Amino acid sequence: MSPLLRPFAVLLALGLSGIGALAHPHVQVSVKMDVVLDDSGAITAVRHHWTFDEAYSAFASNGLDANKDGKLDRQELAALAKENVESLGEFGFFTFIRKGKETSGFGAPADYFLDHDGKVLTLHFLLPIEKQRLQAKEARLEVYDPSYFVAFEFDKNKPVSVEGGKLACVAKVMAPPASVTARLSQMSETFFQGMKGSESSEWSIPVKFDCK
């Protein structure tokens, strides 16, 4: 199968149309990110590092070892990385920066590539803020899939770093309420199929910033 036929977003489209046979979530993603600030403390970009679960990594990378050396290098993964970041724009990159009703808008992703450690794929890409640069101390940053087809979880070790700017800002990943965790563990596949494209922010895990 061509790598252009199996990007992350294509798998999403299959699942969201009801074709997927596995229980929700279908894909697990461990998130690390670097939040870039300007001197005023406004968020100018987000650099993502998404590590996919082993099942998706095996599915996506199957047959891409062109030189048959048992390893996947960036060149062999380049077409898949390009297709993924371009396709993810349809989903807003699952990234939201908000202050009340104000929402930041992203430009085209840059500096993207995939690497493979022998077990899993990690997608790296930079999202520049194209409009509505919000002050970090007033913003709420979230990475989540409203349909819960994809389960995004922040990495346990230093999930969010802050770089640039003159302010000393520290990111804090907020823990989801126990009630939400309990609900998710009890929801069946029938529940999610019944959503039919509806969206919920219930399973988002916000990041907030303390700036001095």
CATH code of 31's domain? 2.70.170
Beta bridge partners, 104, equal none
What H or E segment, with its residue span, contains residue 74?
Answer: helix 74-88
Which residues are within 8 A (CB) of 127 and not within 5 positions of it... i.e. 6 or more apart? 45, 46, 47, 48, 93, 95, 106, 107, 109
**For residue 171, what pLDDT is reported?**
95
Neighbours of 148 (CB within 10 A): 20
Structural domain of residue 108, as residue ranges? 3-211
**For residue 143, what pLDDT is reported?**
93
Is 0.75 topped by the overall pTM? yes
Contact 157, 116 (CB under 8 A): no
CA distance 81 to 8: 9
Q: Which amino acid is at 65?
A: D
**For residue 149, what pLDDT is reported?**
79
Tens-digit pLDDT profile for the chain (212 aa)? Answer: 333 334 565 555 544 443 344 445 678 899 999 999 999 999 999 999 999 999 889 888 888 889 998 899 999 999 989 988 988 888 899 999 999 999 999 999 999 999 999 999 999 999 999 999 999 999 999 999 887 778 889 998 889 999 998 889 999 998 765 555 555 444 444 444 444 444 455 667 899 999 98
Count of structural domains within the chain: 1
Where are any strands of DSSP class E within the chain?
27-37, 43-52, 95-99, 102-103, 105-106, 110-116, 121-131, 140-143, 150-154, 160-163, 169-173, 206-211
